[in-house]
Each structure stands twice: as C-alpha cells, then as structure tokens.
Amino acid sequence: MKNLSKEQQQAYQNLNIDPDNRIIISLDGGGVRGILTLQLLKKMEEIAGLPCYQFCDMVAGTSTGGIIAGLMAFGKTAAEIEELYTKFVTKVFTKRNFFANRFVNPPAYDKENYRQALQDVIGNTTLQQAHQQTGIDLFITAKNVSDNEETFFTCFEVNNSIDDLFKDALLRTVMEATMSAPTFFHPLERFIDGGVTMYNNPTLAALLEAVYYSGKGKYEADKITMFSFGTGTKIQSVSAEQAAKPLGPDTYFWLNYVMDEANQDASAMQTDLFRSPLMNIDFRRFQVSFDTSTMQLLPDHDISGVDNVNANRLHELSSKELNDISMDDVNKFGLLKAIGEAMVDYIMQKNKFTGDLNNTPTKRDELVTAFKGAQKAAPLVKQPKWINNQPT
C-alpha cells in the first residue's frame, strides 16, 4: 500500500482514486493548443488541493505536452506553468526571417529565444536533479533520426535508486528535443519532435515504460490511474470531389492531411485500447474536437473579449474559425483558453475528473464529434455501378 500524507489522501479522495493506485498524467502534443490542457490541469489541482507533482507519481509528455511535463517535474504548479508556457510559446513561434516558410524555405521559426528562456528558468538542471526536487517520475518522447528510433527520455526512482540512461541529461535539452518539429524548427542535432511518431499521445508508451521497463517493480498494471489529456483535435472532412481534385498542389494537400490524421488515428487507437476489456486500469481521457457540433455541447461562454474572433458567444463560432486553429497560431491563444475554460465547466458538471469522459453509445470521447461514416459508406461499396464509375 502506498504511504500517503494526509494531504495526498484528501487529493485521492477528492478525485475518487483508489489509495493503492499510482497516478500517471499523460500530455499530448499540439503546439499552442497546450494552453487548453493547462485550463484542465489548473482545475484538477484545485479539486485535489495540491499541485500535480505533489500527489501524482509520473508525468509523460510529447512536444508541447513535454514542455508542460518538464515544468511539472521541475516543481511548477499548473498556474505557474501557464504563465511560463505563454512566455515560452510566444518566444518559440518567432519567425526566423521574413522569407521563412514551412514548405518553401523551412524552418519557419527560430528556437534561439525559446532556448534562452528555458535556460533562464531551468538552468542546467538534469532529469535526476529535477526528480530529487519533486519526486515525480518523468517520461518525454522524441525521435532520433540518425538511428531511426524513438527516444524516451526517462527518469524513474525504483527502490531508492535511479538507473535511467538519460538521468544526467539536461532537462532543457530534453524539452527542446521533444518540440523540434520538422519544417517548423531546426532539429536538435539528431532529435526531432516526438509527435512525428505514433506517440504524440504518449499514454500507451508511458504505461509500458512504467510497468515493464524503467518503472518495473514500482508500477503494477492493475493499480494505475491514468489521466490522459488531449490538446484538441480538428475533424478534417474531405469531400469525395476534393479528394479527387485537391485545392492547390496535391503533395501539399496530402502531406498536411496525412501528418495530422496519422497522429489523430494513433491517438484514437490507443484510447480505444485503454477503454477496451483488454486493459484493466482506471483510465480517464479528456479531449475535445474543434467543430460547431461539439461547441454546442459546451457551456455557451461569453467570448466577446477574446481577440481575433468574430463571435460574442462560444456557440456562435463558425466552422471556419474553428478550422483555422493551427498548432503555431499564437493569435488563437485567447480562443483556445476560452474553449478550455468551457471544457472545464462541462467536466465539472459531468464528473469533476473522477472518471472517464466517454458517455457515448460507442464509449468514445463524448466531446469529439463522430460522423458515422461507416453507415454512410456501406450502401455504396456493395454496388458494382458505384466502383465502376469511379476515376481510375
């Protein structure tokens, strides 16, 4: 049985967590959308009565989630992280020069200001030193292109010992490696953004690392509460006509589509697995899709004070405004924060973070719109005339 302080016991009780369980927080990548995640983390800390690093056992993150995870492991509250995150992200999305462009003259942005901002806050603290400050185990993803393999920067204390390969890595180096997304930024030598792998949602990799690798003997698969936080997802509907004749160059269109969809599909697959009978953990996923159908499910907050938005209420947001929420658009910070705050109110009405957010017939995310495409396609694919009339 875990040895919990009185304050930790209260946090567990407030969040309806078995006192024998270890708690893992998993944070998706998503560029500036991490500001949405932070609204949820702030409320969860308020409910718990403690910062996450004081009652959780492990934090995992990819890309923007890796930045948040690193700051949490360094001993920052969600509110403090929000303040620092705003500063970091504003600095990181600084155009390299007037001619910089993701596709024509990449990379689009320069990391110099971000690197300096990280050093000002974290200094040369190593993963092990950060762990010694807070006691929280750490897992951050990146991709090593030189050796064509995923890299998991880990620091776990098991039986009063830390034996991880990267325990002496600089925390700021890891936090730069995980967010060095191709075309947006220069690689960090051999390392690029962990989001280019299937681990943009690091939940499954984090569980495996905790139970079978670095955390073996400390974490048990059936005694884990997993909080998995998304950064929002876009439902990219492509008409049959547009698929056949994309607007603009085919390569540009399909490159963007495939990159986004590969991450989202990998995340959905992991989430479905965790919710299936194959897994036996206390899994709690919080995700939202940026579309008008989902916005109608959220409380209709006043957003008249939000910059760069042509709507006064959340329910008045147009499909175009929601589709325009890109991962590098700092002008959408206010809107993302407003959606996060509305999502918090929705969660407070539903379960106050005490359970999964999947009250749907298919047991999938209740704040992610589903279009029931299989039902629409089924009558078509059984018709010989339909396939014979398709372009070759």
DSSP 170: B
Q: At what angle do helices 112-122 and 78-92 cross, to 10 degrees?
A: 150
CB of 308 within 8 A of CB of 331? yes
pLDDT at 100: 65
Q: Is 277 helix (H, G, I), strand (E, B) or coil?
A: coil
Query: Phi then psi for 308, rounded to 5 degrees?
Result: 60, 35
Please state, as a whole number, how many other Cβ atoms lie within 10 Å of the Cβ of residue 336: 26
pLDDT at 259: 66
pLDDT at 152: 98
pLDDT at 103: 65
**CATH class of the region 6-388:** alpha beta
The whole-angstrom separation of Cα 218 and Cα 211 is 7
Per-domain residue ranges of the chain: 6-388
Chain Cα centroid distance, residue 363: 20
Q: What is the pLDDT along the chain (392 residues), one digit of tens a residue?
A: 689 999 999 999 999 999 999 999 999 999 999 999 999 999 999 999 999 999 999 999 999 999 999 999 999 999 999 999 998 888 888 777 766 676 666 788 999 999 999 999 999 999 999 999 999 999 999 999 999 999 999 999 999 999 999 999 999 999 999 999 988 899 999 999 998 888 999 999 999 999 999 999 999 999 999 999 999 998 767 777 777 777 777 666 776 777 677 778 889 899 999 999 999 899 999 999 999 999 999 999 999 999 999 999 999 999 999 988 988 999 999 999 999 999 999 999 999 999 999 988 888 999 999 776 788 889 999 999 999 988 88
pLDDT at 78: 99
Which has the closest alpha carbon to 111: 197, 17, 189, 48? 189
pLDDT at 379: 92
